[in-house]
Amino acid sequence: ICVGAAGFYIWGVLRLRKRGDKWPIARTASWMFGLALLAYITNGAPNVYGEYLFSVHMLAHMILTMGVPVLLVPGAPVTLLLRASEARKDDSRGLREWVLWAVHTPWATLVSNPIFAAINFAASLVLFYFTPLFAWSTKDHLGHEWMIVHFLLAGYLFVQSLIGIDPVKTRYPYPFRLIQLLAAMTVHAFFGLGIMSSENLMLADWFGAMGRTWGSTPLEDQQAGGAIAWSVGE
């Protein structure tokens, strides 16, 4: 998926250049670095050790939700796609027309709204770790893939509402965006501190029952994960 997204992006940039238009190199670099980070988080060491260490899982989760979107959003993939695609003049729908339709659907309008994006970003974190969803994503491959997609999109929509370039129906002024950011930071701080101070092991039948003899104890590792959530969130 990451390789395909990179190739599709390069196709758009080359198509613009062939037409004589320019596309900022910084946007291309940001998109590529974001995809490289996403590929590493989902295929490299964090994905392996996250099965055994809650702290590594949390680090990967925070980077997936906040680090990767901060790189992908400035790449402005929708804007590139709209500029690279030819507009049809025969009332039929090509790639450009379908993208414009998708951007203006009621569903897209809802999920791209800054208020919804902020609530989804903050609430998903709490609901995920304090409901059976966490166990499902840990023990079931389908749940794991759902976790990756959901939190990547949640982070992307949140960052898009703050610094996005792509077209959206609702975009609030900078003072509101600052309040939105501070509110999300507050939720992350309470979430991280709550895990840091907890004496109850989350998913004890998994992290506490695998017989791991190396590293810190499961509870100490969980508390380290809370510190990671707090610090990366800030």
Per the model's pLDDT, the better-predicted residue between 138 and 90 turns out to be 138
Q: Over the chain, what is the mean pLDDT? A: 90
Q: Is the backbone of residue 140 left (phi > 0), alpha (psi -120 to 50) or beta? A: beta
Residue 40 pLDDT = 96
Whether residue 224 is predicted with pLDDT greater than 90 in this model: the reply is yes
* pLDDT confidence band for 25 (50 / 70 / 90): very high
The half-sphere exposure of 161 on its side-chain side, counting CA atoms within 13 A, is 29
- Residue 132 carries which DSSP code? T
**Residue written as token pair 């702290």:** 55
Show the tokens assigned to 160.
């898009």
Predicted model pTM? 0.90
Angle CA 14–19–21, to nearest 5 = 80
> Which one is predicted more confidently, 59 or 82?
59
CA distances from 202 to 63, 65, 189, 230, 233 (A): 21, 21, 18, 17, 20
When pLDDT is averaged across residues 141-162 and rounded to a whole number, the result is 94
Residue 105 has pLDDT above 90, yes or no: no
End-to-end CA distance of the chain: 30
Which pLDDT belongs to residue 95?
Answer: 75
Q: Who has greater pLDDT, 106 or 150?
A: 150
Tokens of 183: 């509110």
